[in-house]
């Protein structure tokens, strides 16, 4: 069942307070505020709606009074992309305060050397003797290729639960599956960006441990 209007307002008020505490200043001149966009992003996750298009249509048809300045679909996607770095932070702060089973997974690129020096750097040659070797990766946030590692972090209530350093060429899906397996995680819900969308067979494997991934 979808939350009532008063519950949507409650989420919006919490997000607005959190944004103030985080010192966030909206630099966007659009009619729809960052608070509204972030509220929508959080609601989409809370309601476990996977399709962006379906969610946008739902808001337009059922909750337009709460979001009268809802942007058109293409503009909505652009705004959510720009604010995605804040959305997961807000989700963690909101909980979700009393939920021990809500986890956030994220990755951070760790460049080792410039790509042009990947085959000649002494540092790279030293790292190649270890089990975890550097590799070529792509940072979507900076839209840039890099050579090095990828740090994968799983956290809950603002605290790091477990982490892993892997080669930059390892996919997010592989990172998630390995992290879950190595740490014997069970009975949790993991939130991540679209890079963590899993194959059906991987979802079925996690389901055996009562683990759900929302990406």
User: Do 123 and 51 share a domain, yes or no?
Assistant: no
Tokens linked to 178: 């390995």
Rounded to two decimals, the pTM is 0.56
State the Cα–Cα distance between residues 165 and 127, nearest whole angstrom.
13
The angle subtended at Cα 206 by Cα 135 and Cα 208, nearest 5°, is 150
Predicted confidence at residue 206, as pLDDT, reads 93
Predicted confidence at residue 1, as pLDDT, reads 35
Distances (CA, A) of 125 to 38, 133, 146, 168: 44, 10, 17, 16
User: Do 116 and 195 share a domain, yes or no?
Assistant: yes
User: Do 182 and 112 share a domain, yes or no?
Assistant: yes
User: Do 114 and 147 share a domain, yes or no?
Assistant: yes
Range of the domain at 132: 102-214
The angle subtended at Cα 42 by Cα 39 and Cα 48, nearest 5°, is 135
Contact 107, 152 (CB under 8 A): yes
State the Cα–Cα distance between residues 81 and 42, nearest whole angstrom.
13
Contact 108, 153 (CB under 8 A): yes
Predicted confidence at residue 146, as pLDDT, reads 93
Tokens linked to 54: 């379906």
Predicted confidence at residue 98, as pLDDT, reads 44
Predicted confidence at residue 4, as pLDDT, reads 46
Query: What is the number of structural domains in the chain?
Result: 2
State the Cα–Cα distance between residues 89 and 63, nearest whole angstrom.
25
User: Do 165 and 62 share a domain, yes or no?
Assistant: no
Predicted confidence at residue 41, as pLDDT, reads 87
Q: Which residues of the chain have pLDDT under 50?
A: 1-4, 98
Domain limit, last residue, from 71, 94, 117: 94
């Amino acid at each position: 069942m979808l939350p009532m209007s008063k519950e949507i307002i409650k989420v919006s008020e919490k997000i607005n307070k959190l944004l103030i505490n985080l010192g966030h200043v909206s630099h966007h001149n659009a009619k729809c505020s960052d608070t509204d966009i972030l509220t929508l992003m959080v609601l989409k996750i809370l309601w476990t709606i996977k399709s962006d298009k379906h969610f946008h249509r739902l808001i337009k048809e059922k909750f337009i009074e709460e979001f009268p300045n809802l942007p058109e679909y293409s503009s909505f996607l652009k705004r959510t992309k720009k604010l995605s770095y804040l959305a997961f932070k807000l989700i963690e702060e909101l909980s979700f305060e009393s939920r021990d089973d809500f986890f956030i997974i994220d990755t951070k690129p760790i460049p080792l050397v410039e790509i042009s020096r990947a085959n000649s750097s002494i540092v790279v040659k030293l790292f190649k003797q270890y089990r975890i070797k550097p590799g070529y990766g792509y940072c979507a946030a900076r839209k840039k290729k890099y050579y090095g590692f990828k740090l994968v972090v799983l956290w809950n209530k603002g605290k790091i639960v477990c982490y892993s350093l892997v080669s930059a060429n390892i996919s997010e899906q592989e990172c998630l599956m390995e992290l879950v397996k190595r740490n014997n995680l069970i009975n949790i819900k993991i939130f991540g960006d679209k890079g963590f969308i899993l194959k059906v067979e991987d979802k079925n494997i996690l389901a055996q441990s009562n683990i759900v991934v929302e990406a």
